[in-house]
A and B are shown apart, each in its own frame.
Chain A
Amino acid sequence: MAADSLDGDDGEVSEAAVRERLDRVTDPELDTSIVDLEYVDEIRIDGDEVSVAMTLPTAWCSPAFAWMMTTDARDEVESLPGVARARIELREHMHEREINRGVNERLSFGEAFPDADGSVDPVRAELDEKARIARQHDATGALLDAGLSETQIAELTRDDLDFDGDRARVWCRDGGLAVRVDADPLERYLEKAEATGLLDDDRPELFRTPEGDPIDPDAFETVRHRTRLAGVNMSGQGSVCDALHESRRAEDRPPLSMRSD
């Protein structure tokens, strides 16, 4: 794995290696890496223990989202060879105490938030589904650009794709012809299609409607519009978070005056 090469020969953990693991953690609402979003304030390495401090764009960021990001960060960093323990410190969040305690003491969400009436799993599944739909837009867009017809795209199955480095071969059923396209949008789509269990059901079609059904070629355009909308929603929300993030970190920002800590 590429990340392993980032580890020093002497077995010591490097900050670059930690950052690379954190880069795999996404803000689930925006489907963007927490490193790219600059949520990570600080990485400290002390032997086989790693501490990561994070601040989200607003103290009101959904506790469920904050929980997903902090537990994912902990698990990603701890998956690094040479790391025995990762400690996460979420800063300036309305539920920082519950979250920091829960994440570092390895509690379940329900244990960390006795008030909550369920787990975060349904929210995660829903956000994964939205990310899947947005990524489908990019993937089908790349295939349309490569000259595939709407019907050909609607009929594609997982088996019609194979990957060769940064290129993908897409086998169209009528004619046994392979079209070569950039692998990235297809790989990104497959990642979320797998995460949402879409490829495990008993239907073979690779691309689906937002509801998970095969696409009727006559309705292809409407599905394309809906997948476009999912992406616009995500990047629109990203712009709001980004603006809040900038504002929160501005030098002349007044202090959180009534905070008890």
Chain B
Amino acid sequence: MYEYEGEDVFVIDSHLHLWDATEENIVHEGGEQFIQCFYDYHTAFTPEEKQWSLEEYRKYGADRMMEDLFGSAAVDMGIFQPTYLTDFYDEGFNTTEQNAELAEEYPERFVLNGTFDPRDGEEGLAYLEELNEKYDLQGVKLYTAEWRGDSKGWRLDSEESFRFLEKCAELGIRNIHPHKGPTIRPLNRDAFDVADVDDAATSFPELNFVVEHVGLPRLDDFCWIAAQEPNVYGGLAVAAPMAVHRPRKFGEIMGELLFWLGEDRLLFGSDYALWNPDWLVDVVMNAELTDEQRDEYGVELDLETKRKIMGENAARLYDIDIEEKKEQFRSDDVTEEFGLGDHYAGETSATPADD
């Protein structure tokens, strides 16, 4: 558990990947450009002494991931969000099955999300059911902009997509995470336009739509939609590391998000291994709004707000009982392995989280 000024903060990292971008796994030049672009994000925002080499970054493996998440006690639990990209990577970039390697070994520490692509039709529905049966899914990560054959992507508010969302509702997969981030493809359109979230959220009030990357760079459209749709949430992956080198800008973005969505609808995510939670949690917990930003937005980014963003909001969406988890984590395998007992010992704990 992260300790902030003597107070414990339960951290659920809501955006994790266990990926393989080794040269052997790349089948298309796009796969190389993809990992290089990620690496640019990594080096652009990671403090210099915490940066990885490109080779480490291509494939870090399960042990390294466990150490990075829990070794420093920055994270208590994590949510896997798969990214298949099977056109670029032979075995996929990080599929549900690949992420399951860790999620199944440490089920108490991880939530495993699946995915669907409405272009797969009946087969896709069957795959979703199969994933659900195997892993008891609570969420799916979706890439509406992924190219496939002649298709330049799909819309969340299309008839085909609604069949899959109906299936999710029926199976109890409540958390829908559409990736709405920087534009990369297709060629002439804005593939990550967030407008399609609007109608989907209205049509499926029983589902939660967690827009990943808070729609950056369509934050304006995202906030306006979220302001009107109570079941729309914002995932902070990619926005969070701006707190390092662009703290003022981070404050402005948080100001807008808190102004339009409020503190109950924002979820922290590191997007590991884009960034390591060990330093990122620290930076976000220490981020502050300027006086000017507090006046402008009329919101606070105080400890209570941060507690919600760092874990409580995700816990609500994923039915995680934080107190019960703390109890369980006093003696689970991860605690044993990394010597985290003190963190979950309750009142007597006084060990700083990050030394």
Residues of A within 8 A of B (CB): 29, 58-60, 62-65, 94-95, 109, 113, 115-120, 122-123, 126, 130, 133, 210, 225-226, 228-230, 232-237, 239-240, 243-244, 246-248, 250, 253-254, 256-260
Contact = CB atoms under 8 A, between A and B. Distances in A.
B107 to A, nearest CB: 35
A229 B223 contact: yes
A116 B245 contact: no
Given A115-B187, A226-B224, 20 more contacts: A29-B183, A29-B217, A59-B33, A62-B183, A94-B33, A117-B188, A119-B188, A130-B220, A229-B256, A232-B220, A232-B256, A235-B252, A240-B44, A240-B217, A256-B36, A257-B32, A258-B23, A258-B26, A259-B29, A259-B32
Contacts of A118: 188-189
Contacts of A123: 188-190
Contacts of B188: 63-64, 109, 113, 116-120, 123
**A interface SS class:** helix
Contact of A65 (B33, B183, B218): B183
A258 B29 contact: yes
Interface size range of chain B in the complex: 35 or more
A237 B222 CA distance: 14
Nearest to B193: A126
B246 interface: yes
A243 B247 CA distance: 13
20 contacts: A58-B40, A62-B184, A63-B188, A64-B187, A116-B188, A123-B189, A130-B220, A229-B220, A232-B219, A232-B220, A236-B217, A236-B239, A239-B246, A246-B44, A247-B40, A253-B43, A254-B53, A257-B32, A258-B26, A259-B32
A236 B249 contact: yes
B216 interface: yes
Nearest to A226: B224
A243 B45 contact: yes
A150 to B, nearest CB: 17
A244 B246 CA distance: 13
Nearest to A247: B44
Contacts of A244: 40-41, 44
Which residue, of B36, B182, B189, B253, has the highest number of chain A Cβ atoms within 10 A? B36
B242 A240 contact: yes
4 A-B pairs with least C-beta separation: A237-B217, A243-B44, A247-B44, A258-B32
Interface in B148-206: 152, 182-190
Contact of B187 (A60, A116, A240): A116
B127 interface: no
B62 interface: no
A236 B36 contact: no
B126 interface: no
A126 B182 CA distance: 16
A114 to B, nearest CB: 10
Interface in B237-258: 238-239, 242, 245-246, 249, 252-253, 255-256
B219 A233 contact: yes
A239 B242 contact: yes
Contacts of B189: 64, 117-118, 122-123
A40 B70 CA distance: 44
B216 A236 contact: yes
B260 interface: yes
Contacts of A229: 219-220, 223-224, 256, 260
A116 B186 contact: yes
A122 B186 CA distance: 14
